Amino acid sequence: RRGGARGRDIEVASASREPWVDANGYLAAYDRALGGAGILGYRAGTRMDIEVPYDTAELALIEARVAGGNYVVDLPPRFRAGLEAKEAKAVASWASLVKTAAWLKENRSLMGRPAMPEVTALVEPGGATRELANLLYRRGASPALVSAARVPAPGAGVVVLVAAGLKQVPEAAFAHSTVVIDSPVPAGAKLVREEVDRGFYAMGKTTVVAYKKKIADPSEFAMDTIDIVTHKRRAARLWNASSAIPLATLGVRPGEGILQIVNYGGPAREELQARIQGHFAKATLLCPEAAPRTLAVARRGSGTEVFLPSLQRLAIVRFSN
């Protein structure tokens, strides 16, 4: 943080509030929303092999597959050298990668499902909407990404439609109940409440949240979006797991829901509280390292909560009735 004292700039160092992770699963979802294949990988000559943990390859495969894409597993030179030397950690990581890859293939029907639409973000080619999608994922807003050329119909479960970062907001976006933009307010919209960086406008039955300038801080914007949708109505929520990213999707069968949790940090040994939108009578925990396990469910408002006994790298909770 920076502050001034007697005309001088003072830099103050303090501990981080939370770990920061560079997650790439959103890229697969973003690419799929625009009609792409969602295959992730590293371009030749761009990957730095500086003490990269061996299990990074497994994590990259997990996040891509969970998002409905895939990952080209190209082992870093250090990992290859460790395998050739039969280094214990490298061999164990390779065995885990093989086991996880088989598990992901076996359970592929649970992955790449449409995200619950509570927060739906319109995307288009270019860095602006891609970065907004990135931080909506990272902050746990559990966004459904949809091409701006195919605006979903109102009443399709969308609580907040994010139309910020677009070159032009489609007229169909303003048929939704709450629309967030960072472009000029449509003619006829009436100001209801004004804040420092945005205004709330009434446009018929639509509430338009209009930022006064283009979004400069996508991370803060993601938190604003969660505030707008409210914690009670957000699709997914996870407690005490700051290095994990949750995503709630529609189930394989009608009346089902799926909560995917990818952990980018060390294993969580204690119970984790998780919530998904919707009322469900049963929850089954699925993970690569253990057999399926039934979890107790508790109804909380419009959602259902469970406690996960632990979290390694990936957990998928399948909710049903």
Q: Which has more confidence, 176 or 4?
A: 176
pLDDT for res 10: 52
pLDDT average, residue stretch 229-251:
95
| Lowest-confidence region among 18-27, 138-147, 161-170, 309-318 | 18-27
Crossing angle of helices 25-33/127-138, nearest 10°? 130
In the chain, count of helices (H) and strands (E)? 6, 20
**What pLDDT was estimated at residue 184?**
95
pTM of the model: 0.91
| Tens-place pLDDT, residues 74-106 | 888 889 999 999 999 999 999 999 999 999 999
CA–CA gap between residue 307 and residue 274 (Å, rounded): 6
Is pLDDT of 253 > 60?
yes
Mean pLDDT over 200-225 rounds to 96
Question: How many Cβ atoms from other residues are within 10 Å of residue 201's Cβ?
Answer: 21
Q: What are phi and psi of 299, to 5 degrees?
A: -80, 130
Percent of the residues in the chain that have a pLDDT greater than 70, as a whole number:
92
Work out the average pLDDT over 182-193: 95
pLDDT at residue 1 tops 70: no
Segment 260-289 shows an average pLDDT of 95
Percentage of residues in the chain having pLDDT higher than 90: 81
How sure is the predictor about 17, in pLDDT bands with cuts at 50, 70 and 90?
low
45: its two tokens: 């000559």
pLDDT at residue number 44: 62
Lowest-confidence pick of 2-6, 9-13, 40-44, 246-250:
2-6
Task: Supply the pLDDT for residue 46.
Answer: 64
Helix (H) or strand (E) holding 152: none
State the Cα–Cα distance between residues 247 and 258, nearest whole angstrom: 8
- Residues whose CB is less than 8 angstroms from the CB of residue 268 and which lie 6 or more positions away in sequence, other chains included: 240, 241, 244, 310, 311
184 burial (CB, 10 Å; 0-12 / 13-18 / 19+) is exposed
Q: How many CB atoms lie within 10 A of CB 63?
A: 25
Structure confidence at residue 155 (pLDDT): 83
Q: Closest Cα partner for 304 from 271, 281, 286?
A: 281
Give CA–CA dist 250/168, Å, rounded. 29
Q: What is the pLDDT of residue 101?
A: 97
User: Which candidate, 162, 319, 176, 305, places its Cα nearest to that of 253?
Assistant: 319
